[in-house]
Structure 1
Amino acid sequence: MASSFDVAVVGAGLGAFHAAEELAKSKNTKVAFIYGYTFQEWVMAAAIFLNNPDEHQKWTCGVPEKWKQKWPNVQYFLSSVESIDCDKKEIKLMNKGPDAGAVISYKAVILATGSKSPLLTPAPGMSLTERVAEVRACGQALKSAKTVVFNGSGLVGVEMCGDFRIQNGYGAKVILLSRSGKVLDSDFGDKAHTPDAGVVTKVTNILKDKFQVDVKQGSVSDPKFSDPILSPGTLKLDDGSTLDFDVYIPCYPLGPNTSSLVSSKSDLLDPRGALVTNECLQSTAHPEVFGVGITTIKLFGHPVSSRITAASQHCARQAAAVIEGKQPQVFKDKGAPPPMSHPMNVKIGHGPGGYMIWTSLPGPAKVCCCQCCNGGYPCCPPPCCWCCIPGCSGACGTCGSPPEGEGPAKLMIHLLAKFPPAHGFKGLGDYGAEVPTQAKMT
């Protein structure tokens, strides 16, 4: 028999968390938070721990009692979704995990399921032991590889190249595969809302000259190369050429995680699997269904985490309105900081040996970080920046030089650790009892 709830929230990232957090404010609303895992992982650190599995535990918590929020009107479900029947308004969970086979009925549902990113994010239903084994297998394969292909030249692919060099040195050949032959197409290149050819050229040169990365033009349509391959093989490019590799990792999203949706209406999803919505982020086929980051209405601007947070809070409020018989409102991104055209930075690896470029900061932060005058340490005004965070003395570059380099990369690994608590991710650094103590990689 199904358990009945007012609103179901589906997802394990910051979007789902902020939707549940917003709904928790209305104590009369009964909420099912279908988190789907027994552990919490900060996926924004994936480039770090996939290249060095010893770092994985720092970004993971395997003790639900530590990471679950104590909201009286919210019930967590730690088994992943098998199907969401939009006609019946019913969710069935996989026959695996603590809530195996549970059936949940809802009046409204918020889907914050993200995009398919094999290896970069845990597979649905994966246990912590399975995830740890996957991360360690990846790290070992990368460490011993002579040729590595990262497919996708966006921010993730660029990060992976830098962190690979930091953790594994310069003995291997690294190929960054790009459809256009260029890097950062969607963020600074021709596909960007406001292209910045200078950043594209700068990052390309740093990758080639400093990190010895071969940026190669090519595309792959064969679906078997949608998954990572951690053993030697041959990549078949669409132009007929081939690339031999020891490790192959796709570093681009493969489309929204919406395959579990079931409906008698053919217009629920578009051809890419995105949820077809109106400007309220509300499904046009099933008005009680809302989507965060997986819809045909794109979220514009950076930081992406702020855009996702604003959309999640909006969907939570609109789901509550629909239940009360009210009309949902058009989504207006009022998140802080306001949407910016470009990412605030480009990271080519984290920590010593890495390189980061500050590209677009909000006005006050730009002044504080001396981007306007290329001030940098020690000309940045004390006590703002000299000693508050390890690595901060070089966080903005050096005096009179562009705001980039190893100093910002050192700072970023410390800043990255501050983001999870700000988005409700607690207890990171504790695998718990599920994973036995194992020897470190040699």
Structure 2
Amino acid sequence: MHDIRMIRDTPDAFDAALSRRGLDPVSPAILDLDTARRQAIKQAEDAQAAANAAAKDVGRAKASGDDAEFERLRTLMADKKAEIAALNERAKDLDSQLNDLLLTLPNLPYDDVPAGRNEADNVEQKRTGTPRQFNFQPLEHYDIPAVQAGMDFAAGAKLSGSRFVVLRGAVARLHRALAQFMLDTHTEDHGLTETITPVLVKEEMMYGTGQLPKFGEDSYQTTNGWWLIPTAEVTLTNLVNGETVEADTLPRRYVAHTQCFRSEAGSAGRDTSGMLRQHQFEKVEMVSITHPDDSDAEHARMTRCAEAILEKLGLPYRTMLLCAGDMGAGARRTCDLEVWLPGQDTYREISSISTCGDYQARRMNARFKPAGGGKPEFVHTLNGSGLAVGRCLIAVLENGQQADGSVVLPDVLKPYLGGRNTITATGELK
């Protein structure tokens, strides 16, 4: 959500920022609606003032016995009442139109976000770790012998259709271990507060973080109006929905491990093999609610939290700064972490860490009281995967595969796997 006062004051700068996302100018339409809305409000106020004055005159006319003046003023008051109702209704309608338009607009990129239209224009910031050199042709995760017994796409399709999977045995245990490892690292090493939230939310919560109204087709809605969360960003960020918090309670840093649900409406035909893109998946999500002065530093800190998981697992990755055209609608700046997948011979996204400024806070009306007093201000919100569990599973399996069909797992996971670190070619955890 955008501040209408900012658009009034700097319409050209507003349009220029949106143009970096490939959008045409919208400030003329916004300002026309805003002007008409303010005029209707002013006219309603003027009519109300006239009605108030007439009400006083009615009493005087009746007291003086001037029946003709009394009836004229009564008629005037009735007309003004109807006029005021019509003007208020028009102002309400124009306000709704303006709000609806603002709700569809994406956030404004920060100045340091590179120009560009798609992922080809993203800027690599660094590479960490060296991809392993295999003395055999590495396989994609679903073709590794150690994995095949524990990753059943046919069963998933029978139960639910395409883009679902059933995990069992050692693969299921590894998936669970990865989520627990991430949670423990974020809570014990990074100071995040572990949180368990619902996966069904009210519609206004989806509006609060920007999934609605524009991206409803990407999510699932139940027949009684709840929405299945596409990520715990929705629930964790909305914990401050409608609240005004004390400044000394910031930052608030949350982490949650949840099921997530996405229709993948915009990805037909992409990544149809394997677990890379599923309708139901699990993520460990990080969310921070901060003071505006601290949000840039918090973005860097959150990025390091996600990077640390990959480093502890010994997975090569690169850190990318997304261009304006490739960022999510709610973000002002996004860093993607892309992990090396030897089976695909490329890097693939495993985490996106975004700072949203006050964009979501305005939609949620989430504020803080400044420590020194004064008018409440909007908080800043940030979110990021820490990490996508299924994609991390893929990376661990592909990077640890051996020529004999087994998979050697990172030592850091041994405490979560009963001291074991190998899945044999027949699918047993040893």
Report the TM-score when normalising by structure 1.
Answer: 0.19
Q: Which has the higher helix share?
A: 2
Larger Rg: 2
Report the TM-score when normalising by structure 2.
Answer: 0.19
